Amino acid sequence: MHDLGWLTAADERAHPPGEERLWSESWYFDFTDRAGALGGYVRLGLYPNLGVAWYWACLVGEGRPLVTVLDHDVRPPKDGSLEIRADGLWADHTVETAFEHVSLGCEAFAVGVDDPAEVYGDLRGDRVPFGLDLEWETDGGVYPWRETTRYEVPCTVHGEILVGHEVIDLDGIGQRDHSWGVRDWWSLGWVWTAGGLDDGTRFHTARIRLPGLEAFAPGYVQPPGGVPEQIDVCRAEEELGEHGFPTTASVTCGALDLAVEPVAFSPVHLVDDDGSGPRHARFPRALCRFEAADGRRGVGWTEWNQPG
């Protein structure tokens, strides 16, 4: 294991909450096949001062309907556990070896829709049995952010996906991340991306869209067989289509200039009401293919937080 910086094995688990209303802790688990034709993600978010957990899980792909689980009113897990239960939902997330191996199980009834924009409205669709039995194993090293309590881990991902009567064996790549602190989705926008190129290079960066943070460049490029190396610049641009879904995009991640092709979207509509009126944010998240300026190609996930 390379130098983990400020991280300790205890940081893989939940942390004592702060006092702020929107203090939260989240774990993301992304996955995609190696062709970028099928993928999904899971997010477990704990909001102790609101008394709830959020749970998202999905599967997307070329020519496939979106299958999504979105529940913002889950009872938080017991202390020392990341297992949740709700009506039509069970999921658990287990750190088998700190910073090396995580397993995830999910059994749920998801909603299947042909148009992902329906998530932004009155989400209705087919009730679809959905399950995940997947393993994330670290591919290279761990990247602790220097500026905040967050870390990212490039992974290989393998296991089984159940959707309806279909059983899918996955042998692909992914990214998992874990962060804790105040997160106000409704006050600032961002672009987050992570993936892998066909030569084994891994990458991640996040463009925070807040005045004064233009030089802020969290992220890494990990060379084939290496460990994450801090980048010094990140930029992100996109062209928006209907419903605010990006149609094309580009990301600069250190020395990598990447064209981004969104393949399939699994968005979320986020609403906050502290008593002074609701605030809204749209959160399109997409399985993507990437092409570097030198012709290398890759796959991964990109998200755009769009408040207002």
Calculate the alpha carbon distances from 178 to 46, 186, 239, 293 in Å. Answer: 11, 20, 29, 30
Asked if residue 2 is part of any domain, the answer here is: no
Q: Which of 247, 231, 159, 160 is nearest to 194 (CA)?
A: 231
CATH assignment of the domain containing 249? 2.40.370.10
Asked if residue 190 is part of any domain, the answer here is: yes
What does the pLDDT profile of the chain (308 residues) look like in tens digits? 678 999 999 999 999 999 999 999 999 999 999 999 999 999 999 999 999 999 999 999 999 999 999 999 999 999 999 999 999 999 999 999 999 999 999 999 999 999 999 999 989 899 999 999 999 999 999 999 998 999 999 999 999 999 999 999 999 999 999 999 999 999 999 999 999 999 999 999 999 999 888 889 999 999 999 999 999 999 999 999 999 999 999 999 999 999 999 999 999 999 999 888 899 999 999 999 999 999 999 999 999 999 99
Tokens of 89: 């939902």
Asked if residue 57 is part of any domain, the answer here is: yes
Asked if residue 1 is part of any domain, the answer here is: no
Instruction: Note the pTM of the prediction, 2 decimals.
Output: 0.97
Asked if residue 67 is part of any domain, the answer here is: yes
Asked if residue 3 is part of any domain, the answer here is: no
The answer to whether the CB of 175 falls within 8 A of the CB of 152 is yes
Handedness of CA 183, 185, 189, 193 (dihedral sign): positive
Asked if residue 287 is part of any domain, the answer here is: yes
Number of domains in the chain: 1
Give residue 75's domain range.
9-307
Asked if residue 4 is part of any domain, the answer here is: no
